[in-house]
Structure 1
Amino acid sequence: MKVSVRNIRIIVLAVLAFSVLALSPAIAGAVSFVPTKPIEFICFFSPGGGSGIFAETVGSIMEKEKIVPVSMPRIYKPGGGSAVGMAYLSEKKGNPYFLGSTANPIILTPLKVTLSGRKTITHRDFTKITILAFDEMAVVVKYDSPYKNLKELIAAAKAKSKSVKFGGTAVGGTDSLLVASLAKAAGVEFNFIAFQGGGEVNAALLGGHIDAMSANPTEMLPQIEGKTMRMLAIAAEKRLAGFKDLPTMKEMGYNVIFNTHRGIMAPAGIPAEAVAYYENAFKKLSETDAFKKYIADNNMTPTYMNSVQAAKYMNDFADYAAGLLRDLGIAKK
């Protein structure tokens, strides 16, 4: 069964030529907006995680490489799975001196609320600036697991429904949606068990309480090198340079592409000139050696989407995720 996350990315790339041509005058520098005071760069999560590292890396490079002529202090607004930070940023409507770092939760957290019939702030209430990278995800098992590859794991799930226990954080979050995508593609049912945090998931796997988990490969590197865990497959378009021996799910026969995007958004209603300025600035960022090193060190997939493309990607991903959430029973079908 073909999974549509891959189609989302193909469609977005298909409109690249039109979008670039439409915005080329601004990208060439024909903009009137230039920041003259510090730009608050808001991270919706606590320092130290993937989103925090992304925000610190981007902000530091923008300052050190003088891509922007002002400072970009990183402001942390964690809470509510991104809801606190999104509420803060939404209050700055029309103000181009505020930016936020984006990842899947800014789409998924509000989506679970709106699918239940309630209103909340969503990603659609902001100006999307860019998407700069994709953080890939892998299926991980204990090192001495009886499952030597993904096909064996799937075979066990087919032999007895919900016999294979997957662990992750929060039903409806990225972990559970990857598992749901794989289950849908393979035609099986897994038993997904939610934990409070990644540390609990790791402990459950090592303790033999679950059979598998989903995780970012770089985050699992200490366990992989220490031979306490193994990766079975990556949910990426192609193999990662840092893990050349790790097959993709596509190679194993399951057409699943699922990852976490890393991008930038701004409050609604900022001037078009500011959007063009930031598009150009983050395009320059993506071409720096420092950002390329960050991508390589973290085994991420680089990309560059302008405002139009980023908005389309996020909207399409939200539509796709809504279907998976319904499959998980989080929203009514």
Structure 2
Amino acid sequence: MKYPLNIMLIFTAVLMSGCQMLGQEEDPLTFPTDQISLVVPFASGGASDMVSRAVATQMEEELGVPVTVVNKTGGSGAIGIYDVMSAPPNGYRIGYVPVELAMYGGLELADIEPSEFEYLARLMAIPAAITVSADAPYDNIQEFIDYAEENPSQIQLGNSGTGSIWHIAGTALAQEMDVSFNYVPFEGAAPAVSSLMGGHIDAVSVSPSEIKSGLDSGDLKVLAVMGEERDPLVPDVPTLKEEGIDLVMSGWGGFVAPKGTPNEIVEAFNLAIENAMNEETFQSLASTRGLTPAYLPSKEFKNFAIDQYEYFNELIPTIRMNN
């Protein structure tokens, strides 16, 4: 039976594609044998990118192959995360994921769930903090809350963008304490902090690492941090829990692989990442940037991400996103 030329070409292309896919299958016992791509869903130069590059450099020594960082931005990180989610599960394309992975569903920004990945290891955690000008009329978080109660929606609270973890941190605090703020979104934490230092807003709900220069210059002061423990950058500043406010809100980041990646490959990455995090390169960067290493192995990281997803899915629809 004779087939039209276009049908034969399609058949040949499908056959070749199938052969290529078979060629991509990796024997976990010999992994890795080729270069690994590490997708970072944010622009180069940020904390996520810098941490990923530091770990990638050390992972190369552990795994014996190049680990190349690929910055794939857009959609509040969703574009890069989709890229990893749709990659072949052979270990040669992995990705960095931030806390926003657990927030997309609640914010209705992207159809991405934590269950769509295999988890390699969590790297770090970054608590939110309430920071104000050094000459602000409040010296602790309770005075700040009292002022907000007496002046509804008058405190201009800057964040790194609508729907970001730092925006959610501010709204969660307002809901917990039954007060209202006037939220001011910026394109990132840096311009929010600059606006605070310029006297254009009253406070920010970003991480201690992002206001470090203002602390060093004496222009800013931190009223409270929103982590489980005090932050090394501001060890004298209490947590919200210490102040009787049962609220924890932190950013975090770690590495994932496409769902279906063999356990042996996941375990190889987990060991390489753990060893990389213990090296001076990573430790020095974390200290300099004010990032708190918070290693979790694959299973614990997966459970943590799913818990965070459930938490944010319940929290986000209930909070007042504007005031």
Fold shared per TM-score above 0.5: yes
Cα distance in 2 for residues equivalent to 1:155 and 1:254 = 14
Say yes or no: does 1:93 pair with 2:111.
no
Cα offset, 1:175, TM superposition:
0.9
Residue in structure 1 matching 2:55, options 53, 58, 71: 58
1:233 equivalent in alignment to 2:224: yes
Pick aligned residue for 1:109 from 101, 104, 108: 104
SS at match of 2:108: helix
Instruction: Answer yes or no: is the 8 Å Cα contact 1:106–1:123 preserved in 2.
Output: yes
- Residue 315 of structure 2 aligns with an amino acid whose one-letter code is L
Asked if 2 retains the 8 angstrom alpha-carbon contact of 1:138 and 1:217, the reply is yes
**Matching residue of 2:25:** none
- The answer for the alignment partner of 2:315 in structure 1 is 324
**SS of residue in 1 equivalent to 2:67:** coil
Gaps of at least 5 residues in structure 1 are 1-30
Residue 46 of structure 2 corresponds to residue 49 of structure 1: yes
Other-structure match for 2:20: none
Paired residues of 1:33 and 1:274 also in contact (CA < 8 A): no
- Alpha-carbon distance, 1:280 to partner: 1.7
- How many residues are aligned here? 294
* 5+ residue gaps, structure 2: 1-27
Matched, 1:159 2:150: yes
Say whether 1:287 aligns with 2:282.
Answer: no
CA drift at 1:152:
0.9
Letter paired with 2:107:
K
CA distance in 2, matches of 1:54, 1:247: 26
Contact 1:54/1:262 (<8 A) preserved: no
Amino acid at match of 2:94: L
Q: Deviations over 1:278-331 (max 9, x none)?
A: 12222222332332333333333333222221111111111111223112356x
SS of residue matched to 2:132 = strand
| CA distance in 2 between partners of 1:43 and 1:261 (Å) | 14
Task: Return the index of the structure with the highest Cα Rg.
Answer: 2
| CA positional deviation for 1:222 | 1.3
The answer (yes or no) to whether the contact 2:101–2:112 under 8 Å persists in 1 is no
Aligned to 2:5: none
- 1:153-232 to 2 correspondence within 5 Å? 153-232=144-223
Partner of 1:19: none
> Secondary structure of 2:239's match?
coil
2:38–2:69 Cα contact (<8 Å) kept: yes
Instruction: Indicate if the aligned counterparts of 1:166 and 1:212 stay in contact, CA closer than 8 A.
Output: yes
What is residue 299 of structure 1 aligned with on the other side? 290
- d(CA) in 2 for partners of 1:229, 1:173: 22
Contact 2:175-2:320 within 8 A present in 1 as well: no
The CA RMSD measured in Å over matched residues stands at 2.0
Q: 1:242 to 1:200 in 2, by over 3 A?
A: closer
* Post-superposition offset of 1:40: 0.3
Asked whether the equivalents of residues 94 and 258 of structure 2 are also in contact (C-alpha less than 8 Å), the reply is: yes
- Percent identity, please: 26
Mapped partners of 2:291, 2:198: distance in 1: 29
Structure 2 residue 10 is the aligned partner of structure 1 residue 34: no
Residue 89 (structure 1) shift: 1.4
Counterpart of 1:247 in structure 2 is 238
Aligned CA distance change for structure 1 residues 164 and 42 (closer, same or farther; 3 Å): same
> What code does the residue aligned with 1:174 have?
I
